[in-house]
């Protein structure tokens, strides 16, 4: 029967009521459908661009300058960004060469956009001299904005300069922070830190 194989499109709706019933008068026009499809396409394109954020166009963070109290834009004191003293976070890195030498700590706000909703996180980096050639590095990610826990399945990774994953940790349900194992590097060595959620990631390059 031809009448069972053909239909007339009266309009559309982007959502369906829980009752499953939708009055015809609530349908939006077909002109609105074309606009809605276009907006979806733009949103998908924006998400693809966001997923490829790698920070490759920016200069690497020069960690050696941190010992001279020279910090790149966006790197703040932990108390300024998180509103709490770093000792309350258990974020401590002592020098292996001398107990009298103190570490340098900084934090940066990380926004992964739509995937995390309105929640941002903070990337914390601490440095301490190991010996004359090497520097110890400790890295954590914490929630900000009054949140107690990180979103589950948030990943923090340490990458080589070529992009090889050297370490990676992932948040679980009700983790209030995640942390990489302490590592070290010599003057001039480069590495990257990656914070990722789903297929969206942010990478920050560093040089010691």
Token code pair at residue 201? 């990631």
Interacting residues of 35 by C-beta distance below 8 A, sequence separation 6+: none
Interacting residues of 53 by C-beta distance below 8 A, sequence separation 6+: 200, 201, 202, 203
CB burial of 96-116 (b: ≥16 within 10 Å; e: otherwise) equals: eeeeeeebbbbbbebebbebb
Q: What is the mean pLDDT of residues 39-61?
A: 59
**pLDDT tens digits for 51-68?**
444 444 468 999 999 999
Q: What pLDDT, on a 0 to 100 scale, did the predictor assign at position 200?
A: 84
Instruction: Give domain limits for the chain.
Output: 2-51, 61-207
**pLDDT tens digits for 74-120?**
999 988 888 876 655 555 555 555 444 568 999 999 887 655 566 78
Report how far Cα 144 is from the mean position of its chain's Cα atoms: 12
pTM over 0.95: no
Distances (CA, A) of 92 to 54, 103, 105, 126: 28, 8, 9, 8
């Amino acid at each position: 029967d031809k009448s069972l194989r053909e239909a007339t499109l009266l309009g559309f709706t982007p959502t369906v009521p829980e009752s499953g019933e939708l009055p015809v008068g609530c349908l939006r026009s077909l002109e609105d459908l074309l606009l809605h499809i276009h907006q979806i396409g733009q949103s998908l394109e924006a998400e693809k661009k966001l997923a490829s954020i790698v920070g490759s166009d920016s200069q690497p963070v020069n960690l050696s300058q941190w010992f001279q109290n020279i910090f790149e834009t966006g790197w703040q004191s932990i108390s300024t960004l998180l509103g709490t003293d770093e000792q309350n976070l258990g974020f401590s890195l002592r020098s292996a060469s001398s107990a009298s030498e103190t570490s340098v700590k900084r934090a940066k706000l990380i926004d992964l956009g739509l995937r995390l909703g309105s929640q941002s996180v903070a990337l914390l980096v601490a440095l301490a001299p190991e010996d004359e050639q090497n520097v110890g590095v400790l890295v954590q990610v914490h929630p900000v904005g009054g949140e107690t826990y990180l979103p589950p399945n948030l990943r923090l990774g340490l990458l080589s300069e070529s992009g090889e994953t050297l370490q990676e940790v992932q948040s679980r349900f009700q983790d209030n922070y995640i942390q990489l194992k302490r590592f070290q590097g010599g003057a001039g060595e480069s590495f990257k830190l990656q914070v990722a959620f789903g297929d969206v990631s942010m990478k920050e390059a560093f040089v010691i």
